[in-house]
Amino acid sequence: MPSPDVDDKRKAAREVIDILHEIATLLNTRLNRQQLSYCVSLIENGVNPEALANVIKELRTQYPEPPASDVDEKA
């Protein structure tokens, strides 16, 4: 069973991601919690945040999301 210290760290990390997700939603970034978590991890490991933002923009340009109506029809 994890120690209370590990549980506290997990809870704090979850709270940080929740706050970042709220900010990301307000800024209309279209990033979900999992994607934000990956971004935070990459930045913590030394990736340049501006370069990461540019990569995300480029990927969205190359691989646009399907229109919402297409997704609804398939469900």
Average pLDDT of the segment spanning 11-33: 95
Q: What's the CA gap between 13 and 28, in Å, rounded?
A: 22
Pairwise CA distance, residues 64 & 58, whole Å: 10
Q: pTM of the full predicted structure?
A: 0.74
- Predicted confidence at residue 1, as pLDDT, reads 60
Q: Determine the pLDDT at residue 6.
A: 86
Flag whether pLDDT at 75 surpasses 60.
no
User: Does residue 33 register a pLDDT over 90?
Assistant: yes
* Residue 69 DSSP label: H
- Average confidence score pLDDT of the chain: 89
> Residue 72: how many CB atoms within 10 A of its CB?
8
Q: What is the DSSP letter of 65?
A: P
**Contacts of residue 41, Cβ cutoff 8 Å, sequence gap at least 6:** none
Q: How confident is the model at residue 4 (pLDDT cuts 50, 70, 90)?
A: confident
